[in-house]
Amino acid sequence: MTIQTISTTPYADQKPGTSGLRKRVTVYQQPNYVENYIQAIFDSLEGFAGQTLVMGGDGRFYNDVAIQKAIRIAAANGFGRVLVGRGGILSTPAASHVIRHYKAFGGLVLSASHNPGGPDGDFGIKYNISNGGPAPEKITDAVYARSKVIDSYKTTDTADIDLGRIGTQAVGDMTVEVIDPVTDYAALMETLFDFGAIRAMFASGFRMTFDAMNAVTGPYAHDILEDRLGAPKGTVINGTPSPDFGGGHPDPNLVYCKEMHDLLMTPEGPDFGAASDGDGDRNLIIGKNRFVTPSDSLALLAANAHLAPGYKAGIAGIARSMPTSAAADRVAEKLGIEMHETPTGWKFFGNLLDAGRVTICGEESAGTGSDHVREKDGLWAVLLWLNIIAARKQSVDEIVRAHWATYGRNYYTRHDYEEVDAAIAGKLVDDLRAQLPGLPGQILGDDLQVAYADDFTYHDPVDGSTSAKQGIRIGFTDGSRIVLRLSGTGTVGATLRLYLERYEAADGRHDLDTQSALEPLIELADQLAGIKQRTGRQEPSVIT
């Protein structure tokens, strides 16, 4: 093997977002774009000589090409071993587990999560640290700084390795071990959940459908749900990962999973429906005649986690992203445990999990997880739901209604305005931010008194770090909230996200249509921010 040092010129757009660097495939296909970014990552790290690096992704278009490049760069930079999923496949939560299980130095996760794939779709690269979680801002900031001045990268003159063959191969002095992507993850799940009880539930006639959306969770769901738990063959649909996700959009929400939702709303439908996204870290939960919002799902999972063997001793605390509804806060209060509100982005949960301050975390964007890994985990959420249903011997609808009767209901919705002109979106947010100091105490809309209005700043209780400008919050004295922020997961223009929440007490009405219940807040938000007039959009791109 010959180590080559290749001259290059920097790109100005390699600033990682909340989940790594996501761009169109055509951007990543530019000369040295992948090489520059991966070298910038390695240049920002210390002490990895001879260490193990994990690699894998969601199988989207360009995954195979980028992994071969990454393997050669890792070898040239002195890593001792690479663990890579067969075919380049590793779900994001599985990658996190493999990093932790094998005590790796870190890992490269090649994914753009729920974004569309294919030659005209998106691609992404994210670096995860040794705890299995996304790199903190001090590392991503260093990577970006390095990417702006990089003038060379290291690689080798070796041929591609065979990603389809389980076993060990060599790239110069570095060992490359191709592993089964499912085995270690499935073994972990068996330690957390009562597989016997879930298996018995399926044997008694319980029916479910799981839509893998032609994405990475297909192999995991086939192995765990059908092979280990005995769900009938055909329970998992769209279970073969595809470079373009079968031409679909691998985001598990009511727009892209409408057919499954409609099926669950019929008498003929199964008892339970679920889906996961491109890289396996998000989830959709639907019971017969009951869609469970991600915010409610977090609260319900936390309230019932003790029913699963892995959490029978109880949970230490709960953390949620700021835009997620306060439903979980009420659970934490009743259980007498810690509750933390963080910025959006799973990396902000890492310190809390590592310090043992929290056990279960969640984001309103369909991500939930626990301290078993350091990423959100779609299939984990599905299995915990199945464990709860098996233990309580109730339907999803019965479990949800009982929860609301105990804790009250947080009516909640998210309105996404996708691919908005970035300058318009930025000015809209800046102008709303300028209004905030004058809002507290005002009576707005339908007799709503503003309790607070701020741009959320997070103070990490573990390491003392501060993250400012994490989203605009306008809270009212009755517990209602309006939240507005720009998302960091898109690749074109800006995604403007509006979150609306209204609390109904335990003895109140819990059967209202969500959008109708929130209509006064929706109208008020538009009056304050001028979304329709300034973006030219009369309705959101997606409502969840």
Distance separating alpha carbons of residues 372 and 134, to the nearest angstrom: 15
Nearest to 193 by CA among 416, 351, 384, 472: 384
**What's residue 491's pLDDT?**
57
Three-class SS of residue 411? Answer: strand
| Torsion region of 223: left, alpha or beta (phi above 0 gives left; psi -120 to 50 gives alpha) | alpha
CA proximity to 518, closest of 490, 483, 491, 485 = 483
Closest CA to 210 of 152, 181, 252, 153: 252
Residue 528: phi and psi, rounded to 5, are -70, -40
Cα distances from 116 to residues 112, 124, 246, 323, 379, in angstroms, run 8, 11, 10, 24, 20
Q: Strand pairing of 542-543 and 409-420? A: antiparallel
What order of strands is seen across the sheet that includes strand 481-487?
443-444, 448-455, 472-476, 481-487, 494-504, 409-420, 542-543
CA angle 365/366/372 to nearest 5° reads: 120
> Of 159, 156, 178, which is closest to residue 167 (Cα–Cα)?
178
- Residue 6, class by beta-carbon neighbours within 10 Å (0-12 exposed, 13-18 middle, 19+ buried)? middle
Beta strands in 196-335 (DSSP E): 208-211, 236-237, 272-276, 283-287, 290-292, 317-321
In Å, what is the CA distance from 511 to each residue of 2, 364, 395, 397?
A: 68, 21, 17, 12
The per-residue pLDDT for range 91-128, each reduced to its tens digit, is 999 999 999 999 999 999 999 999 999 999 999 999 99
Mean pLDDT of 150-164: 97
Residue 422 reports pLDDT greater than 70: yes
Annotated active-site positions, please?
Answer: 113
**Total residue count of the chain as it appears in this document:** 544
All structural domains of the chain, each given as residue ranges with its CATH number in brackets, are 3-180 (3.40.120.10), 185-407 (3.40.120.10), 409-543 (3.30.310.50)
Q: Once rounded to an integer, what is the mean pLDDT over residues 408-426?
A: 93
- Asked if pLDDT for residue 544 goes beyond 90, the answer is no
List % helix, strand, coil for the chain (3-state, nearest 5).
35, 25, 40
Residue pLDDT, tens place only, 472-503? 999 999 999 999 998 865 556 789 999 999 99
Share of the chain above pLDDT 90, in %: 92
Q: How confident is the model over 36-63, as a mean pLDDT?
A: 98
Sequence-distant (6+) residues with CB within 8 A of 407 are 299, 303, 327, 330, 331, 334, 506
* Number of continuous H segments (helices) and E segments (strands) in the chain: 18, 27
Nearest to 293 by CA among 167, 376, 381, 221: 381
pTM of the model as a whole: 0.94
Distance CA 53, CA 51 (A): 7
Give the model's confidence band at 369: pLDDT under 50 very low, under 70 low, under 90 confident, else very high.
very high
DSSP letter string, 385-404: HHHHHHHHT--HHHHHHHHH
**What is the pLDDT of the chain when averaged over all its residues?**
95
Phi, psi (degrees; rounded to nearest 5) at 250: -80, 55
- Residues above pLDDT 70, as percent of the chain: 99
Over range 495-515, report the average pLDDT.
Answer: 94
Q: pLDDT value at position 490?
A: 54
Query: For the segment 54-76, what is each residue's pLDDT rounded down to a tens digit?
Result: 999 999 999 999 999 999 999 99
Angle in degrees, 0-180, between the axes of helices 294-304 and 378-392, rounded to the nearest 10 = 60
Q: With cut-offs at 50, 70 and 90, classify the pLDDT of residue 15.
A: very high
Residue 169 has pLDDT above 80, yes or no: yes
Q: Measured between alpha carbons, how far is 362 from 305 in angstroms, rounded to an integer?
A: 14
Quote the longest CA-to-CA distance of the chain: 73
Q: What is the pLDDT of residues 292-312, one digit of tens each?
A: 999 999 999 999 999 999 999
Helix (H, G, I), strand (E, B) or coil at 318: strand
